[in-house]
Amino acid sequence: MPKITVEKDRCKGCELCNKACPMQILSMSKEINAKGYFYSQVHDPTKCIGCRMCAITCPDVAISVGINGCQYKFFDY
């Protein structure tokens, strides 16, 4: 199953990843990170399809995407 990791202290709370995710599994935390931003987090990891749109959108390279097993790549990137 694909898994996203958000490095919370890199996040600047821009919320672009929330909008980019087609499964709408990202939302902003109610807590702030070391920089004082509300950081993005995955609230429903089971729904992740590993499409990487969140990571492609993130301007702070705060998201990495991994998988244990195979992944169908929806598009080349």
Partner 1 sequence: MTAMNLFQKPESLTCKNTHYCPGCTHGAIHRMVAESLDELGLREQAVGVAPVGCSVLAYFYFNCDFQQAAHGRAPAVATGIKRSRPELTVFTYQGDGDLASIGTAEIIHAANRGEKITVVFVNNAIYGMTGGQMAPTTMPGQVTTTSPYGRNVEEVGYPMRMAEMLSTLRTPAFIARTSVHDPKHSIETKKMIKKAFQYQKDNTCFSMVEVLSTCPTNWGMTPLDSVKWLEDNMLPYYPLGVYKTPEGWEPMPKEGK
**Which residues form the interface with partner 1 (CB under 8 A)?**
2, 9-10, 12-16, 19-20, 37, 50, 52-53, 55-61, 63-69, 71, 75, 77
Task: Tally Cβ neighbours within 10 Å of residue 15.
Answer: 14
Backbone angles phi and psi of 42, in degrees to 5? -85, 120
Indicate the residue among 30 and 69 with the shorter CB distance to partner 1. Answer: 69
Q: How far is CA 5 from the centre of its chain?
A: 7
Output the DSSP codes for 15-31: -HHHHH-TT--EEEEEE
Tell me the closest approach of the beta carbon of residue 33 to partner 1, in angstroms: 11
Tell me the closest approach of the beta carbon of residue 9 to partner 1, in angstroms: 8
Distance CA 45, CA 48 (A): 6
Tell me the closest approach of the beta carbon of residue 44 to partner 1, in angstroms: 18
Indicate the residue among 46 and 59 with the shorter CB distance to partner 1. Answer: 59
